[in-house]
Structure 1
Amino acid sequence: MCGITGVWGSSDSQSVKTMMETLVHRGPDADGLFISANDLGVLGHRRLSIMDPKGGDQPIYGDSRNQAIVGNGEIYNFPQLQPDLAQRYSFTTRSDTEAILRLYEDQGTASVEQLDGMYAFAIADQTRLLVARDPIGIKPLYYAEEDGRFIFASELKAIAQRCDRVQEFPPGTYFDSDSGFSTFYSVPDIPPDQDADPESLIQAVRKTLEMAVKKRLMSDVPVGCFLSGGLDSSLITAIAKQHLDELHTFSIGTEGSRDLKAARLVAEHVGTIHHEYVITPDEVTALLPEILYYLESFDQDLVRSAIPCYFTSRLAAEHVKVILTGEGADELFAGYTYYKSVPDDDTLHRELRRSVMTLHNINLQRVDRMTMAHSIEGRVPFLDLAMIELGQRIPASLKLRGEPIVEKWILRQAFTDLLPEEIVWRTKEQFDEGSGTVDLLGDMLSQVMSESEATEYQQKHRRDRLRSAEECHYHRLLMEAYDRPEPVLANVARWAERPV
């Protein structure tokens, strides 16, 4: 996990250095700068050292010193790619990022389709620039095109200080300075297999998730798990512990919250080294401006879930550099309450696919920003491409099932023997609910802005469609966090906007 930035079409290294300073939290371990020999562009990198901590500083160069890569993320099939490539290219590091560069040297832009991982990277190749983002958009990337320059960075805040119109770089897409944008992946539109044997699908879910977790344990530094005590994080924790002698887990909540109690039960059952932290209203009030600065959003739902994620990340950073988390399970297996109101299975199937497709600038943004605010790397096993494809093949009737209806039924069935029964069948609660954050915020925000003040504020900022006094407060704090907030505000996604 790192921060990348660059300018193509200009040799303005000072601007890149300034953007790099904004991204220090993404990579406190090292920094690097590449300036093309022909003054066509500059690439910048802030490093959080995960793979090859001593030898993997970036930029990493190709056979020519005018060919270089800066990257953010992890390539999980690096161990499979490297041996074949090493027969034709001389590797100078044990970094997975170098495998991207060597694969590009071997296959050109077709190389992006061979990568299995989460990433955003930029390759300077003589007079050409290639920039790419992973298929689901787990790793962030933003860009602007101004005065013949292509400017990019891992976070909005790095570009917003100098560009008026900033856009999100689309997931599953690469940009070639010679040919423009090209899409290489979209979430597959696969009809559910209505004739499949449910038991075979249950076994497939188990096998696929176990493989997804195992590959995400690849690291040269300690790995841990967020553990809320809900189904998703508990499954990931239990599977990870099967492969690690020691595993640290982390949970936060208000005093007496349901998540803290459930997480203790799972930690004891699985045998992890468990850590927890109790949050207070005063601490949330004091740190809310900082949370919003890093989050780059005022969306009410996103902020509510970002608050516990921020504190869990802070706690985890005291012990590990890599963290596994459960994002994506609700979108794949119908975990949210509103899915139960979808009128039929065909519509639900389409809505679940849409939900996965929109994760990149909602929940995945929250995971990335809150973990990186504390310089740790978040990994999301449920969003393995094989799991996403399998999720599309599973009929909706196996996701919402029973009387009363149980969400994520097939996921629960796949792991009934792995966790205590009360965890496997625990009622779904969103992170902000189970941790007690919603109740805490209700008391805290009641004194911040009256309804009449909120109405006036909403009218003043009508373009941003603020939904409540709470959201008005977040919007105001976000406005205060930046000297030039407009490009940030223009990119705020709305989790609540659904077509069903």
Structure 2
Amino acid sequence: MGGIVAVTGRLPAEKMIQVLESMTHRGPDEGDDVVLGAFHLGHRRLSIMGVHNGKQPIANDDRTKWIVIDGVIYNYQALKRELPDTTKYITESDSEVPLKLYEQEGPSAVKRLNGAFAFVIVDSEQKTFMAARDTLGSKPLYYGENKDEEVVFASELKTLYLVTTDVHEFPPGHYYTPEEGFVEYHRIRQPGENHIFPASELPQMMKGIRQSLNKAVEKMMMADVEVGVLLSGGLDSSLIAMLAQERRKTKKPLKSFCVGSADSEDVRRAREVAEEIGTEHYEYIYTEQELIDQLPEVIYHLESFDASLVRSAIPTYFVSKLAAKHVKVILSGEGADELYSGYDYLKGIKDTHKLNEELLRIINTLHNINSQRTDRMSMAHSLELRTPFLDLDMITYAMKIPAELKLKDDQIEKWVLRQAYGGDLADNIIWRDKAEFSEGSGALDILETYAEKQYGEQEVEEANQENEWVRSKQELLYYQIFKRYFPNRSILSAVGHWATS
């Protein structure tokens, strides 16, 4: 994990220092850079795997090929077993495996990686390189050209802007080489009609859901450091917390974390769940003023002004800050709504094909919406956040479940997921109504009240002429803060939006 930068040229030493410092929050443990003739690589590391032996950039045996990577490769041990026995490793980290695969198979080897990642590999001998990003875009990557027409890659927009004003988001599920350009190597797609499970096979589907989610949680607990869980008290986070508690590596209880305002629903519900499953629970109660004071910091790290994203980012920011005091990796219940139709506006879609179309649209846009929020808010506090519901095998299985079992009687969202775990947790947890994270944590009311006092309707109308996504006083509040940190309008093309914001 960490922050990466790669240039098809060379940055002045002072500039590289500035660039790496801008990503210290992504990797506070160690950092370094290397000049390789036609390339310059830099990295800041958050050590999760191979804690004492995984510094980057990492080189191959003859030091002609190098990698900088942000993320985790969950199947790295299996891939190691498939590589030749003569393969030599200089680290104990999963981060070295993509480099070894590249040496054996070239850029297409990225198809074999299972994880959340963004990386750049350079070949100084052949004067070429490749860049790649995981299927869902769980880890960020941006690129652009500087005034010398050199290509620059970076983990965050704020870092890229230190080198160029030409900024673009690297597309998820793609790799890039100068020879091939952008190549889409994987995308989540609709299952064929003959692959949709019959509704009559409900018991088998419930078993399949449990097996898929159990494996995903176990996979994402892979770490050489302690792993905790975000616990809002809702269905999704409660299931992940329960499964993680059962699969923890030590006899000590799993640590769970929740934040909210003094009278927030999330805080009360999370306490109930923590007591039932036996986690070591931590909570933080933020004040109204504290929430308002931290808003600029949240937007700076989020690199977005989208209203829905900012609202949900605030509690994510605070809970990540709390968790980072105790663990370096955290599991989250993010993604269940996208797989099991957890949003209200989906309740009228009864056709499985049409429902899957919309669910896949959401999943394939997570990279600059919810995945951006979870990555930026956790990494703002040097914390790695993982999402078991968004495991690719879990997604593939969930897409085969018919709409009628996800939306029972058009009323109960995520019905089949609730049914699959009925009896594992108390009914008031399994059947709890869904609430927006910002609503359950108490942030929504505070933000609406504050924004209402800051602007008049005329100011909103004028701002809307400048940017169509500014349609309310709350959105104007976020946009004004955003522009202070990111005044160049070239950034707007990299800002994702919820269609229902």
Shorter-chain TM range is: over 0.9
Taking the aligned partners of 1:488 and 1:273, their CA distance within structure 2 comes to: 41
Q: 1:472 aligns with which of 451, 455, 476?
A: 476
Contact 2:254 2:280 in 1 (8 A): yes
The superposition leaves residues 351-400 of structure 1 with CA deviations (integer Å, 9 ceiling, x where unpaired) of 01111111111000000000000000010111111011112111111110
Question: Does 1:486 pair with 2:484?
Answer: no
Q: CA deviation at 1:119?
A: 0.3
Taking the aligned partners of 2:46 and 2:373, their CA distance within structure 1 comes to: 18
Q: CA deviation at 1:280?
A: 1.2
Q: CA deviation at 1:107?
A: 1.5
Q: Please tell me the root mean square deviation across aligned C-alpha atoms, in Å.
A: 1.6
Q: CA deviation at 1:243?
A: 1.1
Amino acid at match of 1:32: D
| Matches for 1:8-407 after TM superposition, within 5 Å | 8-10=8-10, 14-36=14-36, 39-85=37-83, 87-126=85-124, 127-146=127-146, 147-191=148-192, 193-195=196-198, 197-244=201-248, 245=251, 246-342=253-349, 344-402=351-409, 405-407=411-413
Contact 1:187 1:353 in 2 (8 A): yes
The superposition leaves residues 149-192 of structure 1 with CA deviations (integer Å, 9 ceiling, x where unpaired) of 21110011111233233111011111112321111001122135
Amino acid at match of 2:178: S
Q: 2:428 aligns with which of 417, 422, 427?
A: 422
Q: CA deviation at 1:200?
A: 0.9
The superposition leaves residues 254-279 of structure 1 with CA deviations (integer Å, 9 ceiling, x where unpaired) of 11211111111110111100001111
Taking the aligned partners of 1:368 and 1:160, their CA distance within structure 2 comes to: 19
Taking the aligned partners of 2:454 and 2:136, their CA distance within structure 1 comes to: 37
Q: CA deviation at 1:84?
A: 3.5
Q: CA deviation at 1:9?
A: 4.2
Taking the aligned partners of 1:251 and 1:260, their CA distance within structure 2 comes to: 6
Q: CA deviation at 1:11?
A: 5.7
Q: CA deviation at 1:344?
A: 4.1
Taking the aligned partners of 1:8 and 1:284, their CA distance within structure 2 comes to: 41
Q: CA deviation at 1:148?
A: 3.2
Contact 2:259 2:267 in 1 (8 A): yes
Contact 2:115 2:134 in 1 (8 A): yes
Amino acid at match of 1:440: I
Match of 1:495?
Answer: 498
Equivalent residue of 1:447, what SS? helix
Equivalent residue of 1:374, what SS? coil
* Structure 1 stretches of 4+ moved >6 Å: none
Indicate the larger mover: 372-381 or 96-105. 96-105
Taking the aligned partners of 2:436 and 2:498, their CA distance within structure 1 comes to: 14
Q: CA deviation at 1:14?
A: 4.7
Contact 2:406 2:415 in 1 (8 A): yes
Amino acid at match of 2:107: T
Taking the aligned partners of 2:335 and 2:84, their CA distance within structure 1 comes to: 35
Equivalent residue of 1:26, what SS? coil
Contact 2:29 2:44 in 1 (8 A): yes
Taking the aligned partners of 1:84 and 1:340, their CA distance within structure 2 comes to: 45
- Aligned residue-pair number: 492
The superposition leaves residues 84-115 of structure 1 with CA deviations (integer Å, 9 ceiling, x where unpaired) of 43612111111000111111112211210111
Identity within the alignment, %: 45
Amino acid at match of 2:62: S
Contact 2:460 2:470 in 1 (8 A): no
Note closer, same or farther for the CA distance 1:390–1:204 as it changes in structure 2 (3 Å cut). Answer: same
Q: CA deviation at 1:490?
A: 3.0
Taking the aligned partners of 1:208 and 1:352, their CA distance within structure 2 comes to: 18
Contact 2:257 2:282 in 1 (8 A): yes
Taking the aligned partners of 2:452 and 2:266, their CA distance within structure 1 comes to: 24
Taking the aligned partners of 2:375 and 2:152, their CA distance within structure 1 comes to: 21
Q: CA deviation at 1:480?
A: 1.1
Question: Does 1:413 pair with 2:419?
Answer: yes
Equivalent residue of 2:222, what SS? coil
Q: CA deviation at 1:343?
A: 6.4
Q: CA deviation at 1:446?
A: 2.0
Equivalent residue of 1:275, what SS? strand
Contact 2:350 2:403 in 1 (8 A): no
Note closer, same or farther for the CA distance 1:151–1:217 as it changes in structure 2 (3 Å cut). Answer: same
Equivalent residue of 1:4, what SS? strand
Q: CA deviation at 1:288?
A: 0.6
Taking the aligned partners of 1:377 and 1:295, their CA distance within structure 2 comes to: 15
Contact 1:478 1:485 in 2 (8 A): no
Amino acid at match of 1:346: H
Contact 1:325 1:381 in 2 (8 A): yes
Contact 2:258 2:266 in 1 (8 A): yes
Taking the aligned partners of 1:191 and 1:401, their CA distance within structure 2 comes to: 22
The superposition leaves residues 226-264 of structure 1 with CA deviations (integer Å, 9 ceiling, x where unpaired) of 000011111110000011132110001111211111111
Contiguous gaps of at least 5 residues in structure 1:
none
Provide the TM-score with structure 1 as the length reference: 0.95
Amino acid at match of 1:155: E
Equivalent residue of 1:175, what SS? strand
Q: 1:441 aligns with which of 447, 454, 468?
A: 447
Q: CA deviation at 1:448?
A: 1.5
Note closer, same or farther for the CA distance 1:297–1:413 as it changes in structure 2 (3 Å cut). Answer: same
Contiguous gaps of at least 5 residues in structure 2:
none
Equivalent residue of 1:171, what SS? coil
Taking the aligned partners of 1:399 and 1:317, their CA distance within structure 2 comes to: 35
Taking the aligned partners of 1:90 and 1:191, their CA distance within structure 2 comes to: 43
Amino acid at match of 1:96: D
Amino acid at match of 1:99: V
